Amino acid sequence: MKRYEIRLPYPFSERLAAAFPEMEAVQIAPSTTILVGTLRDQTELHGLLARIADMGLEILEVRQDN
């Protein structure tokens, strides 16, 4: 399992947080939210990224914590 941070160019909202219950949504700036969480494998990561894309959301950065 690996920990990931996915940076989105949107302010925190309950709707955004609810859309990704497996991740913690943390607002780091007025218009930037990071989704932080542990994913089992690359398949789970790709599924999460596909869900973000399906919602029409932009991704600024994806980072894997070591």
Identify the CA nearest to 64 among candidates 33, 31, 42: 42
Q: Residue 39 has what pLDDT? A: 97
DSSP string, 1-63: -EEEEEEESS---HHHHHH-TTSEEEEEETTEEEEEEEESSHHHHHHHHHHHHHTT----EEE
Q: Residue 12 has what pLDDT? A: 97
Topology of domain 2-65 in CATH is: Alpha-Beta Plaits (3.30.70)
- In a 13 Å sphere around the CA of 42, the CA atoms on its Cβ side amount to 0
Q: Residue 28 has what pLDDT? A: 97
Domain segments of the chain as ranges:
2-65
4-34 confidence digits (pLDDT tens): 999 999 999 999 999 999 999 999 999 999 9
Query: Which pTM was predicted?
Result: 0.93
Q: What is the mean pLDDT of the chain?
A: 96
- CA–CA dist 48, 45 (Å, integer): 5
